Structure 1
Amino acid sequence: MSLTASPAPAPRISYGAVLGSPYVARLLSGSLTGRLPNGMAPVAILLLATASGSSIAFGGLLSALYGLSSALSQPVKGRLMDRHGQSAVHLPAALLNSALLVALPLSGPYGGPGLATAIVVVGLTTPPLEAGLRALWPSVLPDPRLRHAALALDPGAQGLLYIVGPLLSAALASAYNPAVALAVTAALGLAGTAAVALAPPARRWRPEPFVGQDAAPARQLATPAVLLLFVSLTGIGFAIGAMNVWSISMAEHHHQDMLSGIIPAAFSTGAFLGGLIYGSRTWTGTTTRRLIIATAAFLAGWLPILALPAPYAATAAVTVPGAFLTIVVACAYVTTDAFTPAGRTSEAYAWLILAIGAGQSAGTALAGRLAEQPLAGAALPAAGAAFALTVLLAARRRLGPTGHMQSGRHRRPLRGRHKMPFSGRNTPTFQPF
């Protein structure tokens, strides 16, 4: 009989352990609060435009411009963070963004539509909190299992922003006026961003310098593997954007205005619950395999709506693709990290956010043109998901371990350096979850 003791099983991951780790609760809650304008501002801008006598179409244009400009500016702000640190980017961006949001109501009486359009470019100054938070996790949570849970918890909780944000904006505009909604939006964004930017991990954070052959060329960020991953994510964003318009079409068809908010809320709730389940377990297999399986499940989840179900059935159906969305996004971040040169992680994460945002804009635009055709509108989310899966299947060799080795990107610990929990630097080795 062997006397060798078998290793004790690793303790089960708990969100209490994640949130109880130093600074995690502050960073997560601050980031979510700071990102509330993403859900509040578009609604407040639309309500402001209509209250000022402009058409819904013009208000929608301003809201779309805010979201699009915010997404397009993400890579620039990500690169600035990689060069100058997070606090140096977050705080000035939050101050300018909040000031412009508060000033937006003045554009009506004093500048007309032209100035209103210019001020909505406030989206360009949106603090890059999402990319920044992903870059902070390795230094805040050195344990890869806890980091895995945090990476799943954040995208799931982010879905709640698009439930709480629009409802809060609408309530404030109804009880007071849209200017108050914009002022509260600005205050929440500034307070949340300050909570993150002034936290010690954010103030100390600097990208991990790389020693080796990957240090020089700036264009190495755009490897074939990363480009294919981002192209696939445009399909994920396309599905989300098309779903938002399809929910409005459902509301109009069934004469139930609340469906336009209930269906996206059900989708976001599924994302939150899916993130909780995924992050609480340790999964076997490669990240690439999980990414492809989750994308296939995301696609399968959209197929029931092709039958044009009744409102309650449609609401229940969208929770399924929502549940797998969080897994897709979490695996995409891990894969991006594996192929990104050290010192450029924030910029890479920002490009990922832009890819999803660009796809979402395209899905919204095309779904709007097909809104009068119920079956075509219901098919668009599945079409976006199918595109994402097709690209991932074509890229699976590049995204797998072999492709990682061929890309020449490895984060190696520098000789003589000991990794400290709050050294302010990214973890120099990639840990697949």
Structure 2
Amino acid sequence: MSLTAPPAPATRITYGAVLGSPYVARLLGGTLVGRLPNGMAPVAILLWVTTNGGSIAFGGLLSALYGLSSALSQPVKGRLMDRHGQAAVHLPAALLNAALLVTLPLAGPYGGPGLAAAIVVAGGLTTPSLEAGLRALWPSVLPDHRLRHAALALDTGTQGLLYIVGPLLVAALASAYNPSVALAVTAALGLTGTAVVAFTPPSRRWCPTPSAQAQARTAHRLASPGLMLLFISLAGIGFALGAMNVWAITMAGHHEQELLAGILPAAFSTGSFLGGLLYGRRRWSSTTTDRLIGAGTLFLAGWLPLVALPGLYAATAAVAVPGVFLTVVVACAYVTTDSLTPAGRTSEAYAWLILSIGAGQSVGTALAGRLAEQPLTTAALPATGAAFALVVLLTARRRLGPAGRLNRRGRHRRLPEGQHKTSRHHR
């Protein structure tokens, strides 16, 4: 009879343990506050334009310019962080962004549409790259991969809340005061959240190791074929999100209930938040690639009921389903990106991931807007984007799997059981 004691059960990971880890709550809270302007600024800009006599078309154009310029500048800021550290990039960007948002109301009486457009574009270009920065910090803040898994899911799942709370806050401020106050509060929140993150020790001290910096200088190609295909697939995910926003507006018009334009995206974001909470609490035995493709499949399946043109309540319930699996797709995409990225360029790679989703979202919004008069086509566009993403993921499967991780040159290579490594993100 064996006298060997059975192995002790693995400690259950809780979100209390994650948030109780040093600096995690501060970094996550500061990032959420600092990124809240991502959901506030486009709405505040639109309200400022229309309140001052401008057209909705011009307000929409300025809002789109802000979002597009913010997305396009992400890789540049990511590379700067990889070379000079996070605080050196975050703080100047936040100061410039806040100053530009506060200055925008002066563009009406003194500069006209041209100056307003220039300020909006400059404001988008200077949005702090907090999301990419936070993802680069998790390995050093949470060396335990299980805690890191839960933190990434919590971080990803809470993103949707930015686009629920942000617009509601802007609407309340604009109603109680005026859109200029909403812009000022937007600037203050962005600056405050960024300062909280930048002055937190892990962010303040973060930089690639000298060897990683040297490798980054010699790595002329950031994207391997697998990483390129991953980013292309994420553009399809973004396309689905952009098309969904227009579909929500068409549903609101069809049912003559304006609130639907906000309720449907809120239902989707709520599903994303809940999906993140559930995903982060569970221990997974499958590979990241398998989870990525499985979640992509379910993300596609979740959009298919919309093609049946469901009624008001059914549509609200249905749209939450793909939201649940969005968080899993994005969280797994970040892990895969880390595994395929050369050392010293992780922040830049994360920024390209964000840009891929944002670019796809812009295309989805634009195409759905042109087809808004065709209800069936509009309802099918989110599924089309999700199907494109899944096909690309299946094509790239061999390039995203365990072999890619074993051959990687990145910073967080998986070590044999029982071995540990010292964080390489601190001086």
* TM exceeding 0.5: yes
Secondary structure, counterpart of 1:35 in structure 2: helix
Q: 1:207 Cα shift?
A: 1.7
Secondary structure, counterpart of 1:342 in structure 2: coil
Aligned to 1:128: 129
- Flag the 1:165–1:114 CA change in 2: closer, same or farther, 3 A: same
Query: Contact (CA 8 Å) 2:339, 2:413: kept in 1 or not?
Result: no
Task: Please give the alpha-carbon distance, in whole angstroms, between the structure 1 residues aligned to 2:323 and 2:414.
Answer: 37
Aligned to 2:311: 310
Q: 1:218 Cα shift?
A: 3.2
Aligned to 1:429: none
- Flag the 1:321–1:411 CA change in 2: closer, same or farther, 3 A: closer
Q: Which amino acid aligns with 1:7?
A: P
Task: Please give the alpha-carbon distance, in whole angstroms, between the structure 1 residues aligned to 2:75 and 2:153.
Answer: 22
Q: 1:212 Cα shift?
A: 11
Query: Contact (CA 8 Å) 2:339, 2:408: kept in 1 or not?
Result: no
Aligned to 1:276: 277
Provide the TM-score with structure 2 as the length reference: 0.96
Please say if 1:79 is aligned against 2:96: no
Query: Contact (CA 8 Å) 2:343, 2:409: kept in 1 or not?
Result: no
Aligned to 1:358: 359
Aligned to 2:231: 230
Aligned to 1:258: 259
Please say if 1:114 is aligned against 2:114: yes
Q: Which amino acid aligns with 2:368?
A: A
- Flag the 1:411–1:183 CA change in 2: closer, same or farther, 3 A: closer
Q: Which amino acid aligns with 2:39?
A: G
Secondary structure, counterpart of 2:111 in structure 1: helix
Q: 1:127 Cα shift?
A: 0.2
Task: Please give the alpha-carbon distance, in whole angstroms, between the structure 1 residues aligned to 2:84 and 2:192.
Answer: 22
Aligned to 1:330: 331
Question: 1:382-410 CA deviation, whole Å, 9 max, x = no partner?
Answer: 00000000000001011112244466667
Secondary structure, counterpart of 1:34 in structure 2: helix
Query: Contact (CA 8 Å) 1:31, 1:192: kept in 2 or not?
Result: yes
Provide the TM-score with structure 1 as the length reference: 0.94
Structure 1 residues 201-240: aligned runs within 5 Å? 201-210=202-211, 216-240=217-241
Question: 1:32-62 CA deviation, whole Å, 9 max, x = no partner?
Answer: 0000000000000000000111110000000
Task: Please give the alpha-carbon distance, in whole angstroms, between the structure 2 residues aligned to 1:413 and 1:88.
Answer: 30
Task: Please give the alpha-carbon distance, in whole angstroms, between the structure 1 residues aligned to 2:94 and 2:321.
Answer: 35
Please say if 1:19 is aligned against 2:19: yes
Aligned to 1:174: 175
Q: Which amino acid aligns with 2:248?
A: S
Structure 1 residues 28-427: aligned runs within 5 Å? 28-121=28-121, 122-210=123-211, 216-405=217-406, 419-420=421-422, 424-425=425-426
Q: 1:4 Cα shift?
A: 1.2
Q: 1:210 Cα shift?
A: 3.9
Unaligned runs of 5+ in 1: 427-433
Q: Which amino acid aligns with 2:391?
A: T
- Flag the 1:345–1:255 CA change in 2: closer, same or farther, 3 A: same
Q: State the number of aligned residues.
A: 422
Query: Contact (CA 8 Å) 1:94, 1:125: kept in 2 or not?
Result: yes
Kindly report structure 1 stretches of 4+ aligned residues shifted beyond 2 Å. Answer: 208-220, 402-414, 418-421, 423-426
Q: Which amino acid aligns with 1:344?
A: R
Q: 1:86 Cα shift?
A: 0.4
Query: Contact (CA 8 Å) 1:308, 1:375: kept in 2 or not?
Result: yes
Task: Please give the alpha-carbon distance, in whole angstroms, between the structure 2 residues aligned to 1:176 and 1:413.
Answer: 53
Task: Please give the alpha-carbon distance, in whole angstroms, between the structure 2 residues aligned to 1:209 and 1:386.
Answer: 42
Q: Name the Cα RMSD after superposition.
A: 1.8
- Flag the 1:247–1:195 CA change in 2: closer, same or farther, 3 A: same
Q: Which amino acid aligns with 2:13?
A: I
- Flag the 1:411–1:324 CA change in 2: closer, same or farther, 3 A: closer
- Flag the 1:212–1:356 CA change in 2: closer, same or farther, 3 A: closer
Task: Please give the alpha-carbon distance, in whole angstroms, between the structure 1 residues aligned to 2:210 and 2:371.
Answer: 49
Task: Please give the alpha-carbon distance, in whole angstroms, between the structure 2 residues aligned to 1:114 and 1:13.
Answer: 53
Q: Which amino acid aligns with 2:124?
A: G
Secondary structure, counterpart of 1:220 in structure 2: coil
Task: Please give the alpha-carbon distance, in whole angstroms, between the structure 2 residues aligned to 1:167 and 1:295.
Answer: 30
